């Protein structure tokens, strides 16, 4: 009796390839194989694209947060002043900023004035958030000093104000135009409390790429903000920038020590942690849901192999009588299913990576065809669809798809290997 070929020899590969290519009338599964392959390909591609977009959204959102805001803010707890009124102003803001800047891991610390006002120009009005900051400190904020979209000269801040692109669009203003800021706190006069109004020239327009910032953010010089908001001699908070923003939680203790007994800390994770956690949870859930899509596509491999085993019963009997072992028969049919899974997974990875890489171009084409926007920045905050391909995520999708394909293929392959040669020839 001839010797059985070595495991996964060329002979077994040739038989498996012949069965996959054979038409239905020849006892093959070519049509079902194509359906299974396309299903696995689309499932894998969809999973890669969704993971890339969700990872990109989280990282882009985090980058915009860290690039346009302080990593941590130090402010004082409210205490009654000499008149018995609640007061949280920081009178020793320069000394506090110096102590905070000396903490290891802190790259800069700057006093800040913060207030909500109404901005008006050309008969339009919008609520804005005004931040008063020194020019040398503002130039250290990456997405303001080097924005996605910008116009004017930030160095001219002492002559006016800097506004976000959303504020400029809302008010219909550009460089050189005058914007009126109206503070609801007002000022005391012999005729009662009157709103505080000041006119400022727009000297700089910036766009950080986050809709909720660009639409409301206005910067003015620190000293001017002190005067406008009646904060002479004090600051509302001190913003701190770190060399490792992700380690902000470990910095709480040294920052609190430097801030003193009245100091309170509010970090970027406190402001956005719940939203980022929700994004992580959603990404994991979407991975599980879309994995079921890949599983359903892979299950088509079973139906195809079951039909193949039934149609090739006579061939199995002949191969067994020629000396092939049950293990060899099992490997032949395992290769049939595994090839579908491998090719489908490979094509899905290529398609998914290309889609994620060119997602901005695809977005532009879809919007051109539909005549509308498919990405609303008012809802999603970012101005365009982000996508970040990470090798680990692609490998995880590949491993999941190949694992499902291999495991699913084992059952029909074992069924083929268990067929008795005599029964196979009789049934065939």
pTM tops 0.75: no
Looking at the DSSP bridge assignments, the partners of residue 131 are: 114, 219
* Confidence at residue 178, expressed as pLDDT on a 0 to 100 scale: 93
pLDDT at 27 over 50: no
* Confidence at residue 350, expressed as pLDDT on a 0 to 100 scale: 94
Q: For the ranges 13-27, 79-93, 185-199, 206-220, which has the lowest average pLDDT?
A: 13-27
* Confidence at residue 411, expressed as pLDDT on a 0 to 100 scale: 77
* Confidence at residue 6, expressed as pLDDT on a 0 to 100 scale: 62
Cβ atoms of residues 116 and 129 within 8 Å: yes
Hey, which of 35-44, 207-216, 310-319, 345-354 has the most confident mean pLDDT? 345-354
More confident residue, 378 or 216: 216
* Confidence at residue 305, expressed as pLDDT on a 0 to 100 scale: 73
Categorize the per-residue pLDDT at 179 as very low, low, confident or very high, splitting at 50, 70 and 90: very high
Give the chain's mean pLDDT. Answer: 80
pLDDT at 325 over 90: no
Q: For the ranges 112-126, 206-220, 342-356, 411-425, which has the lowest average pLDDT?
A: 411-425
Pairing mode, if any, of strands 237-242 and 106-121? Answer: antiparallel
Q: What's the mean pLDDT in 293-316?
A: 72
* Confidence at residue 301, expressed as pLDDT on a 0 to 100 scale: 76
Cβ atoms of residues 259 and 235 within 8 Å: no
In the chain, the percentage of residues whose pLDDT exceeds 90 is 21
* Confidence at residue 84, expressed as pLDDT on a 0 to 100 scale: 61
Q: What's the mean pLDDT in 202-219?
A: 87
pLDDT at 374 over 70: no
In the chain, the percentage of residues whose pLDDT exceeds 70 is 78
Categorize the per-residue pLDDT at 1 as very low, low, confident or very high, splitting at 50, 70 and 90: very low
């Amino acid at each position: 009796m001839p010797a059985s070929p070595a495991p996964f020899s060329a002979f077994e590969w040739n038989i498996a390839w012949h069965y996959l290519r054979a038409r239905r009338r020849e006892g093959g599964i070519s049509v079902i194989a194509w359906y299974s392959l396309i299903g696995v390909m689309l499932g894998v591609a969809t999973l890669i694209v969704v993971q890339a977009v969700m990872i990109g959204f989280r990282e882009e959102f985090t980058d915009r947060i860290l690039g346009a805001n302080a990593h941590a803010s130090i402010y004082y707890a409210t205490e009654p002043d000499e008149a018995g009124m609640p007061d949280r102003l920081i009178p020793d803001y320069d000394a506090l900023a110096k102590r905070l800047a000396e903490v290891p891991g802190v790259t800069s610390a700057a006093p800040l004035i913060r207030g909500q006002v109404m901005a008006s120009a050309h008969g339009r009005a919008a609520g804005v958030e005004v931040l008063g900051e020194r020019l040398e400190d503002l130039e250290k904020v990456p997405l303001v000093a080097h924005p996605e979209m910008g116009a004017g000269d930030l160095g001219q801040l002492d002559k006016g104000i800097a506004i976000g692109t959303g504020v400029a669009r809302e008010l219909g203003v550009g460089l050189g135009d005058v914007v009126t800021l109206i503070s609801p706190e007002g000022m005391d006069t012999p005729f009662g409390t009157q709103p505080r109004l000041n006119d400022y020239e727009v000297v700089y327009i910036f766009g950080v790429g986050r809709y909720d910032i660009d639409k409301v953010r206005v910067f003015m010089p620190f000293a001017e903000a002190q005067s406008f908001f009646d904060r002479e001699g004090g600051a509302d908070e001190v913003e701190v920038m770190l060399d490792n923003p992700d380690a902000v939680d470990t910095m709480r203790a040294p920052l609190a020590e430097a801030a003193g007994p009245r100091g309170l800390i509010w970090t970027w994770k406190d402001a956005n942690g719940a939203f980022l956690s929700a994004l992580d949870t959603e990404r994991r859930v979407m991975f599980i849901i879309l994995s079921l899509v890949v599983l359903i596509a892979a299950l088509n491999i079973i139906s195809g192999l079951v039909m193949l085993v039934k149609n090739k019963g006579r061939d199995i009997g002949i191969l067994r009588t020629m000396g092939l072992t049950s293990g060899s028969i099992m490997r032949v049919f395992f290769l049939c299913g595994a090839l579908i899974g491998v090719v489908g997974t490979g094509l899905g990875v290529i398609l998914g990576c290309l889609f994620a890489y060119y997602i901005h171009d695809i977005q532009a084409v879809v919007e051109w065809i539909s005549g509308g926007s498919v990405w609303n920045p008012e809802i999603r905050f970012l101005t365009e669809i982000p996508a970040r391909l990470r090798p680990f995520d692609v490998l995880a999708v590949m491993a999941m798809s190949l694992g499902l394909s291999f495991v699913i293929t084992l059952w029909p392959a074992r069924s083929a290997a268990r067929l008795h040669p005599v029964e196979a020839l009789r049934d065939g």
